[in-house]
Amino acid sequence: MRKISMREAINEAMHIAFHSDPNVFTMGEDIAVYGGQLRCSYGLVENFGSNRVRDTPISEMAIVGAGVGAALHGKRPIVELSYSDFIGTSFDQILNQAAKIRYMYGGSVNIPLVIRTQGGAGLGNGAQHSQSLEAILAHIPGIRVVMPSNAYDAKGLLLRAIRDNNPVVFYEHKALYKQKCEVPEEPYEIDYTSDVKREGEDLTIVTYSAMVNRSLKAAEELEKEGISVEVVDIRTLEPLDIDPVITSVKKTGRALVVHEACKKGGFGAEIVAQIQEQAFFDLKSEIVRIGAPNVPVPFAVNLEKMYVPEVSLIVDTVRKMMKGN
């Protein structure tokens, strides 16, 4: 099977959606002629025209607000915010409008809105362009939060999100855009489910987005030492498919939760709480979290490298958890 990058997979998913439904359109800053700040929208305006691929002013408030209005009128907008850090300027549209309208009208209206954005550190974009803010979004009832870790999942999850009648924040990690894996050419959808990326017997790592790949590399290193690690990619924070996580932890008896966002107040705390509530008596050791320190993302290369959890940190943490067991 061919291998394509996550950027190519996202672009392919949008082309498929545009071809299959005339109500699908996209808008954002420089997404038409330039192909988007994220470079995922190339070829759309040439194939579908400027009415369905619209450049906008530099106003996230206007972009999301227009998306909410279009969704209420039966369109399926995909709006692009260049960086998730800018969600704050459109928070009223997300928090008080997109997330609430379907509920307040008793399900009589749909909000099929997809907000594509990027986050994460590691590429030297500085404190205001590198944050992982997914926990804030996942705390808002009424919004889906999707975070793919590879090209295959990105294509299937984006097609699922575009056809969802609820608002979806599709959160892409900037460090994953160039990474390739096998992706079918034909259309397919992936449900909002967790996925066991690697099976193991001794310990479960629960993770998502860019930390999935680092966890898999850590598992490979630990295998050489005779430690068998299972890696569960939750893929969507909301809805959270916790059953595969609980099944895995009950099998291994140990759980390590890994994410790039700040450890304090991060989504990992929710995962830990649910494991503790549903699998407490199956645990052989305490549940451990790995996350970034509670500081803004550094710009300096050496400091940013220290900020993002490394494979070596995951490996060392697993070793400590396995000691004496």
The tens digit of pLDDT for each residue in 113-126 reads 999 999 999 999 99
Q: Give 146's DSSP letter.
A: E
Count other C-beta atoms under 10 Å from residue 155's C-beta. Answer: 28
Asked if 29 contacts 80 with a C-beta cutoff of 8 angstroms, the reply is yes
Look at residue 26 and give its three-state secondary structure.
strand
Mean pLDDT score across all residues of the chain: 96
Backbone angles phi, psi at 324, to 5 degrees: 80, 5
Q: Give 298's DSSP letter.
A: P
- The CA radius of gyration of the chain, in Å to the nearest whole number, is 20
Instruction: Map out the domains of the chain as residue ranges.
Output: 3-182, 195-322
The number of C-alpha atoms within 13 Å of 111 and in the hemisphere containing its C-beta is: 30
- Residue 38: the pLDDT is 81
Do 3-182 and 195-322 have matching folds? yes
Asked if 5 contacts 151 with a C-beta cutoff of 8 angstroms, the reply is yes
Asked if 249 contacts 282 with a C-beta cutoff of 8 angstroms, the reply is yes
Residues 182-205 have a mean pLDDT of 98
Contacts of 286 (CB under 8 A, 6+ apart): none
- Using pLDDT thresholds of 50, 70 and 90, give the confidence band for residue 325: low
- Residue 32: the pLDDT is 93
- Residue 324: the pLDDT is 59
CA 230/CA 42 separation, integer angstroms: 37
- Residues marked active site are found at 129
Count other C-beta atoms under 10 Å from residue 307's C-beta. Answer: 20
pLDDT of 71 over the 70 cut? yes
Per-residue pLDDT tens digits for 142-163: 999 999 999 999 999 999 999 9
Task: Name the architecture of domain 195-322.
Answer: 3-Layer(aba) Sandwich (3.40)
Asked if 26 contacts 77 with a C-beta cutoff of 8 angstroms, the reply is yes
Per-residue pLDDT tens digits for 225-271: 999 999 999 999 999 999 999 999 999 999 999 999 999 999 999 99
Q: Give 293's DSSP letter.
A: -
Superfamily of domain 3-182: Thiamin diphosphate (ThDP)-binding fold, Pyr/PP domains (3.40.50.970)
